[in-house]
Amino acid sequence: MYAMTPRCQLPPLRRGPQQPCRAASTAPAPPALSSPSRADPDELRSTWPQRAWTLAGSAAVLSSLSTSASLAAADAGSFAEPLAAALVAYSLADLATGVYHWFVDNYGDASTPFFGAQIAAFQGHHRYPSTITRRDPCNNLHALARAVAFTLPPVDAAATAAGAPAAAHAFAGVFAACVVLSQQFHSWAHENPRRLPAGVEALQAAGVLVSRGQHAAHHRAPYNNNYCIVSGMWNGLLDRHMVFEALEMVVFFRTGVRPRSWGEPDAAWTEDTAGGDSSLHTQ
């Protein structure tokens, strides 16, 4: 049994010329982050395709929730199970965003099939974290909404075909909604409290939404914790038990690929504060 302390057992990966680890000699570490450039302010505005994808994802969520409500109403108004399923979905969505965020922060790059754009956006976010607060809502949410628009309707249709209860549709709809909105919650975690919508600060303080303080820890060295961005309720458990470090060890020993978080923090991890406003980038 190994101790889950990769930083102690393995030398830190320094970017640039280095001796490759024997196990990694055929499977290199993820490419070092490129130094992202500031984007044009227009890139932060919503385009019509982004609005359309956000609308499509929202429609899929509303369809799921309305199916759930119809089934519950037909079942003598029994809403207890759908509500319980919704709470479980809200909790597990936090865990899912943590796993996904960990993956895109640590593995792959912009050329990675299918996930490349999200990987580049999340990794670029570490360079210019406050940019996310300047994005229009559909600009910020459309990528996850598009994923929901493609995946939720077939899931919902399969559940209907299988005669699934109201709780199943409630779970699917709330899980998808929380995943899409996680980028909004993430944005609020970076926002100046004076600019937050009414009530959001209270929800952050109550732990209903991920707090600014908790997420700020994700943007500080060693850049390997607090990945969950819905409520953050899983962050303490995952970090205390070093779950992501354990997954990184499994990936490393099976593939030789090191997560980016094992490397020395470099300019690509740290916020670019040069030039004052660091608000213009891809995430």
Tell me how far apart the terminal alpha carbons of the chain are, to the nearest angstrom: 39
Of the ranges 12-20, 105-113, 135-143, 148-156, which one interacts with Zn ion (CB under 5 A)? 105-113
Nearest-approach distance from CB 105 to Zn ion, in angstroms? 4
3-state secondary structure 72-107: HHHCCCCCHHHHHHHHHHHHHHHHHHHHHHHHHHHC
Helices 116-127/137-161 angle, 10° precision: 140
Of the ranges 52-60, 104-112, 134-142, 245-253, which one interacts with Zn ion (CB under 5 A)? 104-112
Q: Which is nearer to Zn ion, 25 or 34 (CB)?
A: 34
Query: For the chain, how are helix, strand and coil distributed in percent, rounded to 5?
Result: 60, 0, 40
Which residue type sits at 183? Q
Number of residues that bind Zn ion (CB under 5 A): 1
Classified as helix, coil or strand, 258 is: coil
User: Residues 46-85: x/- map of binding to Zn ion (CB under 5 A)?
Assistant: ----------------------------------------
Cβ-closest position to Zn ion: 105
Classified as helix, coil or strand, 120 is: helix
Q: Does 105 bind Zn ion (CB under 5 A)?
A: yes
Nearest-approach distance from CB 96 to Zn ion, in angstroms? 15
Q: Which is nearer to Zn ion, 120 or 152 (CB)?
A: 120
Distance from C-alpha of 127 to C-alpha of 234, rounded to nearest angstrom? 25
Q: Tell me which residues in 2-31 interact with Zn ion (CB under 5 A).
A: none
Q: Tell me which residues in 213-272 interact with Zn ion (CB under 5 A).
A: none
Q: Does 191 bind Zn ion (CB under 5 A)?
A: no
Question: Under the rule (CB under 5 A), what is the footprint of Zn ion?
Answer: 105
